[in-house]
Amino acid sequence: NAGVTQTPKFQVLKTGQSMTLQCAQDMNHNSMYWYRQDPGMGLRLIYYSASEGTTDKGEVPNGYNVSRLNKREFSLRLESAAPSQTSVYFCASSEAIAGRYGYTFGSGTRLTVV
């Protein structure tokens, strides 16, 4: 029962470098999400995808792009990393946008930008 798989688990980038965080779910969920978690800030939604082929901005989208590659995969790209993007990133999925059964989360990617 893999659930939501995120790669990589840890990453260190230099300012200005780019990278893509990968996320895949095997639960046949329609909706997927990217959050960042910072100390004292709780969870903040970056982007989400209500269904395959659609993506929308969350509350903190600046500096990020996303791709819903297919129903299973939803990637997050940092085009030019900045120290302010140092955070822990979580991917999540659900059967519908505000699913009756909540979201299933991945184990996170800890990103440090130096």
Partner 1 sequence: GNSVTQMEGPVTLSEEAFLTINCTYTATGYPSLFWYVQYPGEGLQLLLKATKADDKGSNKGFEATYRKETTSFHLEKGSVQVSDSAVYFCALARPNFGNEKLTFGTGTRLTIIP
Where does this chain bind partner 1 (CB under 8 A)?
Answer: 4, 33, 41-43, 45, 48, 50, 56, 90, 92, 94, 96-108
Q: Which is nearer to partner 1, 63 or 99 (CB)?
A: 99
Find the shortest distance in angstroms from Cβ 20 to partner 1.
19
Find the shortest distance in angstroms from Cβ 1 to partner 1.
13
Q: Which is nearer to partner 1, 42 or 53 (CB)?
A: 42
Find the shortest distance in angstroms from Cβ 27 to partner 1.
13
d(CA 51, CA 42): 25
Residue 83 DSSP SS3: helix
The count of other CB atoms within 10 Å of the CB of residue 24 is 20
d(CA 86, CA 12): 9
Q: Which is nearer to partner 1, 26 or 79 (CB)?
A: 26
